[in-house]
C-alpha cells in the first residue's frame, strides 16, 4: 500500500469545516431556482471564475452572498446531507462542523430552521453509515458582542444539538478580546470553546484566544511560528491547531503549497491537524487537502500518520472512541510497506 492509498483508506476526522462552505456551485443554482433567489452569476463557469480570492475578506464577501440561497429547513438539510456523502466518499468517520447562525438570522431566517436542517441530516448520516458528529456554532467576529449574546440566547434551547461555540469571519481588527464576556457566558453554560486565530491575524490573537477565551483548539493558527514563546507554549500544552492547507493557498496566506509551514509545525511537535475549511470554495475536501499537502511538502508516511492520529486526538470524541479509531489507523499503516 502506498501513501496515497493509506490516506484514502484510513479512517479520518474533520475538525474545521464550515457547512456553508460546502455549498457547491451546482447546488447554489439548484437552491436559487427552488427559492426564487437572484444570484450575481449567470452560470456555473461564472461562479468558478469568481472564486479567485486575494485574501480572507474577498472570499467572505462571496461566501455570504452564496449563503443567501439557503432559506428553508430542507435547504440546510440538503446542504448538510451532500457534505455527509462526501464524508462517506473520503472515509471521514467523525466530523465536527461549524455553522454561522448570524449569517442566516440577519436575513430573517429562523434559528430553528437552520439548526434543525443541519442536525437532521447528520442524524440520518449517523444512522445510515455511522458518521459521528459534533456541531459548533460560530459567532461572526465582524459583528458586535451584543449580537453574539442574542444568538447565544437562542442556542440554549438547542443545547442538546450544539456542542460548542467558535469564532470566525474577518479576523483583522476583530481580536478575540472583543468577545471575552460572550465566551465566558458560553463556557459557564457548558459549551466548549474554539476560535479562529492566526489565520491572517497576528500571534497576539492566538495568545488572546488561549488566555481570554480559554479555547480547547485554535482554528488555523499558522501565524504562530512568528512568535517563539507561543510555539513553546503550544508545544507544551499540545493545544490542537486545525490547519487548512488548500484554504491557505486560495486566500493567499502562503503563495504556494510548497511554501506552507505545516512541515515546520510538525517539526516543532505541535498538535497539528489537516482540514478542509470551505471545500466548495477552495477546491477540495479532506482527502484532496491531505494528498496535495503530502505531495507538495514531501511528507513522510510517518508524518501523514501523525497528522491523521493527531486529528482523532484533537477531536471531542470520548477517549475510548479515540483509541479505537487510532488503532485502526495504525493497523492500516502497518500494511504501508507491503
Ligand atoms: N468563515 C468561513 N471560512 C472562514 C475562514 N477561513 N476564516 C474565517 N472565517 C471563515
Ligand atoms: Zn474556517
pLDDT for residue 71 is more than 60: yes
User: pLDDT tier at 231 (50, 70, 90 boundaries)?
Assistant: very high
247 lines ligand 1 (CB under 6 A): yes
285 Rama class: left (phi>0) / alpha (psi -120 to 50) / beta = beta
Tens digit of pLDDT for each residue in 173-230? 999 999 999 999 999 999 999 999 999 999 999 999 999 999 999 999 999 999 999 9
Q: Is 94 helix (H, G, I), strand (E, B) or coil?
A: strand
Tens digit of pLDDT for each residue in 265-324? 999 999 999 999 999 999 999 999 999 999 999 999 999 999 999 999 999 999 999 999
Probe target for ligand 1 pocket from 198, 278, 281, 282, with the most ligand atoms within 8 Å of CB: 278
- Return mean pLDDT, the chain: 97
CATH of 3-333, one of 1.10.3720.10, 3.20.20.140, 3.40.50.2300, 1.20.1530.20: 3.20.20.140
pLDDT for residue 338 is more than 60: no
pLDDT at 260: 98
CA-to-CA separations, 218 to 139, 213, 242, in angstroms, rounded: 15, 11, 6
Distance in angstroms (rounded) separating the CA atoms of residues 253 and 59:
12
The CA 168 to ligand 1 mean position distance, Å, reads 6
Question: Which residue among the candidates 73, 96, 171, 199 is catalytic per the annotation?
Answer: 199
- Is residue 7 exposed (0-12), middle (13-18) or buried (19+ Cβ within 10 Å)? buried
Nearest CA residue ID for atom 9, ligand 1: 169
194-206 burial: b if 16+ Cβ within 10 Å, else e: bbbbbbbbbbbbb
Structural contact between residues 12 and 286, judged by C-beta atoms closer than 8 angstroms: yes
Domain ranges of the chain: 3-333
pLDDT for residue 77 is more than 70: yes
Chain centroid to Cα 324, Å, comes to 23
Report the percent of the chain where pLDDT is more than 70: 99
Which of 38-47, 57-66, 97-106, 256-265 has the lowest average pLDDT? 38-47
196 lines ligand 1 (CB under 6 A): yes
315 lines ligand 1 (CB under 6 A): no
275 lines ligand 1 (CB under 6 A): no
The CA 278 to ligand 2 mean position distance, Å, reads 7
* Averaged pLDDT, 24-29: 96
Question: In the structure grid, which three cell numbers stand for residue 327, read together?
Answer: 488503532
56 lines ligand 1 (CB under 6 A): yes
21 lines ligand 1 (CB under 6 A): yes
pLDDT for residue 25 is more than 80: yes
The CA 252 to ligand 1 mean position distance, Å, reads 13
Question: Residue 286 contacts by C-beta under 8 Å, 6 or more apart in sequence?
Answer: 12, 14, 90, 92, 274, 275, 276, 279
Q: Which of 41, 71, 14, 85 is nearest to 276 (CA)?
A: 14
pLDDT for residue 161 is more than 70: yes
User: pLDDT tier at 1 (50, 70, 90 boundaries)?
Assistant: confident
pLDDT at 337: 61
Q: DSSP character for 259?
A: G
Tens digit of pLDDT for each residue in 129-152? 999 999 999 999 999 999 999 999
List, as own/partner pairs, every contact residues 280-284 make where C-beta atoms lie below 8 angstroms and the sequence separation is at least 24, other chains included.
280/21, 280/22, 280/23, 280/24, 280/25, 281/21, 281/51, 281/53, 281/59, 281/62, 281/63, 281/250, 282/21, 282/244, 282/246, 282/247, 282/249, 282/250, 282/251, 283/246, 283/250, 284/246
20 lines ligand 1 (CB under 6 A): no
Q: Is 188 a catalytic residue?
A: no
Question: Residue 32 contacts by C-beta under 8 Å, 6 or more apart in sequence?
Answer: 38, 39, 69
The CA 172 to ligand 1 mean position distance, Å, reads 12
Probe target for ligand 1 pocket from 53, 97, 168, with the most ligand atoms within 8 Å of CB: 168
The CA 242 to ligand 2 mean position distance, Å, reads 9
Nearest CA residue ID for atom 10, ligand 1: 169
CA-to-CA separations, 304 to 27, 273, 331, in angstroms, rounded: 32, 10, 14
pLDDT at 335: 73
Distance, first Cα to last Cα, the chain? 6
pLDDT at 333: 77
Distance in angstroms (rounded) separating the CA atoms of residues 153 and 261:
39
Distance in angstroms (rounded) separating the CA atoms of residues 34 and 78:
12
Q: Which of ligand 1's atoms lies nearest the C-alpha of 199?
A: 7
Amino acid at each position: 500500500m502506498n501513501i496515497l492509498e493509506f490516506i484514502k483508506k484510513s479512517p479520518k476526522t474533520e475538525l474545521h469545516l464550515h457547512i456553508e462552505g460546502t455549498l457547491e456551485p451546482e447546488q447554489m443554482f439548484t437552491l436559487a431556482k427552488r427559492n426564487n433567489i437572484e444570484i450575481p452569476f449567470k452560470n456555473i463557469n461564472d461562479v468558478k471564475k469568481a472564486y479567485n480570492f486575494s485574501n480572507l475578506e474577498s472570499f467572505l464577501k462571496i461566501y455570504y452572498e452564496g449563503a443567501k440561497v439557503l432559506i428553508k429547513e430542507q435547504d440546510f438539510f440538503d446542504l448538510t446531507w451532500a457534505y455527509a456523502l462526501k464524508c462517506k466518499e473520503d472515509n471521514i468517520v467523525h466530523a465536527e462542523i461549524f455553522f454561522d447562525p448570524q449569517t442566516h438570522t440577519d436575513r430573517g431566517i429562523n434559528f430553528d430552521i437552520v439548526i434543525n436542517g443541519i442536525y437532521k441530516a447528520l442524524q440520518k448520516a449517523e444512522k445510515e453509515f455511522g458518521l459521528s458528529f459534533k456541531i459548533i456554532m460560530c459567532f461572526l467576529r465582524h459583528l458586535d458582542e451584543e449580537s453574539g449574546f442574542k444568538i447565544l440566547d437562542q442556542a440554549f434551547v438547542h443545547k442538546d444539538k450544539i456542542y460548542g461555540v467558535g469564532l470566525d469571519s474577518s479576523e483583522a481588527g476583530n481580536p478575540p478580546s472583543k468577545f471575552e464576556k460572550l465566551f465566558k457566558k458560553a463556557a459557564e453554560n457548558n459549551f466548549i470553546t474554539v476560535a479562529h486565530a492566526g489565520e491572517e491575524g497576528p500571534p497576539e490573537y492566538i495568545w488572546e484566544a488561549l488566555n481570554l477565551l480559554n479555547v480547547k483548539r485554535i482554528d488555523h493558527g499558522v501565524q504562530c511560528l512568528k512568535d517563539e514563546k507561543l510555539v513553546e507554549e503550544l508545544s507544551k500544552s499540545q493545544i490542537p491547531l486545525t490547519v487548512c492547507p488548500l484554504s491557505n493557498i486560495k486566500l493567499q496566506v502562503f503563495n504556494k503549497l510548497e511554501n506552507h509551514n505545516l512541515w515546520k509545525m510538525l517539526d516543532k511537535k505541535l498538535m497539528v491537524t489537516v482540514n478542509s475549511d470551505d471545500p466548495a470554495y477552495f477546491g477540495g475536501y479532506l482527502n484532496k487537502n491531505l494528498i496535495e499537502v503530502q505531495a507538495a511538502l514531501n511528507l513522510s508516511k510517518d508524518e501523514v500518520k501523525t497528522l491523521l492520529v493527531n486529528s482523532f486526538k484533537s477531536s471531542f470524541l470520548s477517549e475510548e472512541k479515540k483509541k479505537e479509531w487510532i488503532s485502526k489507523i495504525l493497523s492500516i499503516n502497518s500494511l504501508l510497506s507491503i
